[in-house]
Amino acid sequence: MRVHKLAFPALAVAAGLLLTACQSDDDGTGKGAPTSASSASSASSTGGGSGSGGAGSGGSDQGGGKDSAGKSPAGKSSGGQGAAAGTGSKESGKVGKCRTDELEITAKDRTIDGDTDATVVVEMKNRGGHSCAISGYAGVDLKTNAGSLSAKRTGEQAPSAILKDGQSTFFGISYPFNTSGGSGVRITGLLVTPPSETKTVSLSWPGAATLPVTDGSGSPVKVGPIGSAGQGG
């Protein structure tokens, strides 16, 4: 009977240990599940980051759809800036100087009654198809029966001008009337070289036929800077 009494407590203890083990397993499974869920959540979170990256990649694909080269957004942005800079350079870059071949140069007599000197006005019209810059003094030489005669600069300040296609600028050439009563020096032509150019244009002389003979103290012919004469003289 003692043996049986001792057996029941032993069985009770064994049952208690088995129940405890089962509870531990249940707890472990319970804890394990949240741990797995946490890991899944973490993986999902990481996947979300990849998804975000995927969205970014989607943006890149969209950008690539817009960019036939299939560049990344960064690459595309860089290309865009380069294109903008290129456009900016075309619009805001320096305008080239007016070339002789791009200018239509003509001369007309613009002498006004009562003036002490006679005047010829030279027109330079831009025919280059684009804007050009011009400033300074043109080279002016009169062809005469006594040789070439260079005009002397007036010394006025020379303004700068931008000529759009079809626009003109003017400058004046002044010279003394031949009131000597003699034949004087006969003028046979006009040579004009635009500022900063070496190519010269030969024109007919539209002014008086002769100049008075000088004592050799300097040229009696004066030339003003570009822009010194208005339209019509």
Digit-coded pLDDT (tens) for 27-43: 444 444 444 433 334 43
Helix %, strand %, coil % for the chain, to 5?
Answer: 40, 25, 35
Q: What pLDDT band is residue 214 in, cutting at 50, 70 and 90?
A: confident
Model confidence at 213, in pLDDT bands (50, 70, 90)? confident
Nearest to 190 by CA among 214, 211, 168, 207: 207
Q: What is the pLDDT of residue 183?
A: 84
Least confident of 25-34, 75-84, 152-161, 217-226: 75-84
CB count in 10 Å sphere of residue 23: 10
| Spatial contact of 217 and 128, defined as CB atoms under 8 Å apart | no
Q: Please, are residues 177 and 208 in contact by the beta-carbon 8 Å criterion? A: yes
CA distances from 60 to 54, 102, 105, 174 (A): 9, 48, 57, 70
Q: Write the single-letter amino acid at 195.
A: P
pLDDT for 186: 95
Q: Within 10 Å of residue 105's Cβ, how many Cβ atoms?
A: 20
The segment with the largest mean pLDDT, out of 49-53, 76-80, 99-103, 158-162, is 99-103
Mean pLDDT of 198-220: 89
Distance CA 109, CA 177 (A): 13
Cβ atoms 96, 132 nearer than 8 A: yes
Number of H helices, E strands in the chain: 2, 12
Over residues 70-91, mean pLDDT: 36
Per-residue confidence at 216, pLDDT binned at 50, 70, 90?
A: low
Per-residue pLDDT, averaged over 175-203, amounts to 94
**What's the pTM value of the predicted model, to 2 decimals?**
0.59
Q: How far apart are CA 203 and CA 141, in angstroms?
A: 11
Q: From CA 222, how far away is CA 150, in angstroms rounded? A: 9
Q: Nearest Cα to 95, choosing from 128, 57, 50?
A: 128
Phi then psi for residue 205, to 5 deg, are -85, 120
Residue 35: predicted pLDDT = 42
Q: Which of 227, 233, 148, 167 is nearest to 195 (CA)?
A: 227
Contact present, 103 and 124 (Cβ < 8 Å): yes
What average pLDDT does range 74-100 have in this prediction? 52
Annotate 69-80 with b (16+ C-beta within 10 A) or e (fewer).
Answer: eebbbeebeeee
Return the closest-CA partner of residue 151 out of 130, 134, 173, 125: 173
Between 2-66 and 73-92, two packed helices, what is the crossing angle to 10 degrees?
20
